[in-house]
Amino acid sequence: MKSIYDYNYEQLQEVMIQHGYKRFRAKQIFEWLYRKRISEFDQMSNLNKDSRDWFKNNYILSGLKVRTKQVSKDGTTKFLFELEDGNLIETVMMVFDYGNSVCVTTQLGCNMGCDFCASGLLKKKRDLTCGEMVAQIMYVQQELDKIGERVSHVVVMGTGEPFDNYENVMNFLSVINTDVGLAIGARHITISTCGIVPKIIEFSQSHYQYNLAISLHAPNDELRSKLMPINKAYPIKELMRGLHIYMSENNRRLTFEYILLKGVNDSQLCAKQLANLLRGTNSYVNLIPYNSVDEHGYQGVNFDAAMKFYDTIVKGGVRATIRKEHGGDIDAACGQLRAKELMKEGKL
Which residues are near ligand SAH by CB under 6 A?
Answer: 112, 114, 116-118, 157, 161, 192-194, 215, 257, 259, 288, 290-291, 293, 333-334
* CA pair distance 135, 141, nearest whole angstrom: 10
CB of 134 to ligand SAH, least distance (A): 18
Find residue 192's DSSP bridge partners: 213
CB nearer to ligand SAH: pick between 135 and 334:
334
CB nearer to ligand SAH: pick between 81 and 290:
290
CB of 252 to ligand SAH, least distance (A): 17
The residue from 90, 161, 257, 341 that is catalytic is: 90
CB nearer to ligand SAH: pick between 33 and 223:
223
* CA pair distance 177, 304, nearest whole angstrom: 39
Q: Print the SS3 string covering 176-241.
A: HHCCCCCCCCHHHEEEEECCCHHHHHHHHHHCCCCEEEEECCCCCHHHHHHHCCHHHHCCHHHHHH
Find residue 189's DSSP bridge partners: 154
HSE at residue 313, side-chain half, CA atoms within 13 A, is: 29
The residue from 114, 257, 334, 341 that is catalytic is: 334
CB of 118 to ligand SAH, least distance (A): 6
Read off φ and ψ for residue 29, nearest 5 degrees. -65, -45
CB of 58 to ligand SAH, least distance (A): 33
CB nearer to ligand SAH: pick between 13 and 193:
193
Q: Between helices 197-206 and 236-250, what is the axis angle to 10°?
A: 0
CB of 182 to ligand SAH, least distance (A): 21
Maximum Cα interatomic distance, the chain, rounded to a whole number of Å: 69
CB nearer to ligand SAH: pick between 13 and 204:
204
Q: Pairing mode, if any, of strands 283-288 and 254-259?
A: parallel
Q: What are the angstrom distances between the C-alpha of 97 and each of 31, 142, 326?
A: 28, 20, 13
HSE at residue 251, side-chain half, CA atoms within 13 A, is: 0
Query: Catalytic residue at 194?
Result: no
Query: Catalytic residue at 114?
Result: no
Active site residues: 90, 334
